[in-house]
């Protein structure tokens, strides 16, 4: 048990550290800024963040949500992204390993092939989904630099680690084509019927990537769950979540700092908004959420769907 808890702590720290990097990606990538340089700093006073304050989750708590130099408020979302990635890493590892790590599993010849390797591969997928979620929430765009490479990477993942989640390369290939094709058909059909754009151009690329990673079998659940959860949240929050016009600047800067116009600074980003009546909502976060749900609960979901279909 001691080994399992110690390894679980390491897995959480790994996930939270990835979350810390994702905060940089979420903030800088849409603005066309380097994600490598400069080092993390306060956007208000540009004071570099000290090493001890860069510790995931704990750094924000030590600072009490404010810059140590100028006192400007720092959004709690920094810590929440780090915490979320830590929890997702734990959930993924537990799913692939069947629970906490044991000495028997660690020395098993199948550990690298069936647990460690797939964990690294699919943790990358989860990280991309988290980054896309918050970028879409802020800017109403899904950067092509994240969504398009995820499609061939998903195909490669099916060869390297697909056996761990029940996805073959054929499933992946069909999933990529079907995922992108379904959303494209909806966009084109809605446009022909109404003369308006009903969904953002980033959605079809994202669903194509999700299909590549999860296989075509995951697409019905992802589309259904994303739609239901998106509609439910929009009905509950209304204009607190949806907008009538797409924002020209990020909808939620983490700190009060002017950011370049995304249309000029990020030409590889595709505007993404789904029209709900006269309101626009970012659909990418709900596709990402449903994909995460399917990945972590795929056996239960597949079993439920199989039972429902056989009963019908």
Average pLDDT estimate for 265-287:
66
Whether the CB-CB separation of 212 and 178 falls below 8 Å is answered with no
Q: State how far the Cα of 124 lies from the Cα of 46, in Å rounded to an integer.
A: 30
Percentage above 70 pLDDT, the chain: 83
Average pLDDT estimate for 113-135:
96
Average pLDDT estimate for 217-241:
88
Q: State how far the Cα of 117 lies from the Cα of 5, in Å rounded to an integer.
A: 20
Least reliable range by pLDDT among 89-98, 234-243, 256-265, 302-311: 256-265
Convert the pLDDT of each residue in 236-275 to its tens digit: 876 666 665 555 544 343 333 333 344 444 445 555 555 5
Q: State how far the Cα of 116 lies from the Cα of 161, in Å rounded to an integer.
A: 10
Least reliable range by pLDDT among 105-109, 120-124, 155-159: 105-109
Count of positions (residues) in the chain = 312
Position with higher pLDDT, 76 vs 312: 76
- Using alpha carbons, select from 207, 205, 211, 112 the residue that is nearest to residue 154: 211
Burial of residue 37, with CB atoms counted within 10 A of its CB: 0-12 exposed, 13-18 middle, 19 or more buried: exposed
- Using alpha carbons, select from 175, 84, 74 the residue that is nearest to residue 129: 84
Residue 141's φ and ψ, nearest 5 degrees, are: -140, 155
Average pLDDT estimate for 149-157:
98
Q: State how far the Cα of 13 lies from the Cα of 82, in Å rounded to an integer.
A: 9
Q: State how far the Cα of 237 lies from the Cα of 245, in Å rounded to an integer.
A: 16
pLDDT value at residue 255: 34
pLDDT value at residue 254: 36
pLDDT value at residue 277: 52
3-state helix, strand, coil in the chain (%, to 5): 65, 5, 30
Tally of domains within the chain: 1
Tokens of 25: 């990606």
Find tokens 């970012």 and name the residue: 282
Percentage above 90 pLDDT, the chain: 50
- Using alpha carbons, select from 72, 84, 7, 65 the residue that is nearest to residue 44: 72
Q: State how far the Cα of 112 lies from the Cα of 127, in Å rounded to an integer.
A: 21
pLDDT value at residue 107: 76
DSSP 293-305: HHHHTHHHHHHHH
Three-class DSSP category at 108 = coil
pLDDT value at residue 269: 55
- Using alpha carbons, select from 270, 307, 303 the residue that is nearest to residue 136: 270
pLDDT value at residue 156: 98
Q: How confident is the model at residue 210 (pLDDT cuts 50, 70, 90)?
A: very high
Strand partners, 143: 269
Average pLDDT, the chain: 84
Least reliable range by pLDDT among 33-42, 201-210, 222-231, 296-305: 33-42
pLDDT value at residue 162: 96
Position with higher pLDDT, 202 vs 243: 202
CA distances from 77 to 99, 117, 119, 283 (A): 29, 30, 25, 20
Cis peptide before 38 (omega within 30 of 0): yes
Q: Which domain holds residue 307?
A: 2-311
Position with higher pLDDT, 42 vs 82: 82
pLDDT value at residue 37: 83
Q: How confident is the model at residue 308 (pLDDT cuts 50, 70, 90)?
A: confident
- Using alpha carbons, select from 91, 19, 94, 111 the residue that is nearest to residue 59: 19
Least reliable range by pLDDT among 7-11, 41-45, 137-141, 227-231: 41-45
């Amino acid at each position: 048990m001691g080994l399992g808890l110690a390894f679980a702590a390491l897995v959480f720290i790994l996930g939270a550290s990835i979350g810390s990097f994702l905060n940089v990606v979420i903030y800088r990538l849409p603005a066309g800024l380097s994600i490598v340089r400069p080092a993390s700093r306060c956007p208000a006073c540009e004071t570099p963040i000290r090493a001890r304050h860069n510790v995931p989750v704990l750094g924000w708590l030590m600072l009490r949500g404010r810059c140590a130099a100028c006192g400007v408020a720092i959004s709690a979302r920094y810590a929440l992204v780090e915490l979320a990635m830590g929890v997702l890493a734990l959930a993924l590892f537990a799913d692939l390993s069947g629970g906490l790590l044991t000495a028997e599993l660690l020395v098993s010849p199948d550990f690298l092939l069936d647990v460690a390797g797939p964990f690294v591969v699919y943790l990358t997928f989860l990280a991309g989904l988290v980054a896309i979620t918050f970028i879409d929430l802020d800017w109403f765009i899904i950067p092509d630099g994240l969504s398009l490479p995820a499609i061939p990477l998903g195909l490669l993942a099916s060869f390297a680690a697909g056996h761990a989640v029940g996805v073959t390369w054929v499933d992946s290939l069909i999933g990529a084509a079907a995922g992108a094709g379904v959303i494209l058909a909806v966009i084109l059909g809605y446009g022909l019927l109404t003369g308006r754009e009903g969904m953002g151009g980033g959605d079809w690329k994202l669903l194509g990537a999700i299909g590549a990673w999860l296989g075509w079998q995951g697409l019905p659940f992802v589309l259904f769950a994303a739609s239901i959860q998106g509609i439910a949240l929009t009905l509950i929050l209304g204009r607190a979540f949806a907008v009538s016009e797409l924002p020209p600047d990020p909808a939620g800067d983490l700190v009060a700092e002017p950011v370049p116009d995304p249309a000029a600074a990020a030409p590889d980003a595709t505007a993404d908004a789904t029209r709900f009546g006269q309101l626009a909502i970012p659909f990418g976060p709900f596709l990402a959420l449903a994909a995460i749900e399917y990945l972590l609960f795929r056996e239960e979901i597949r079993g439920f769907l199989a039972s429902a279909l056989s009963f019908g």
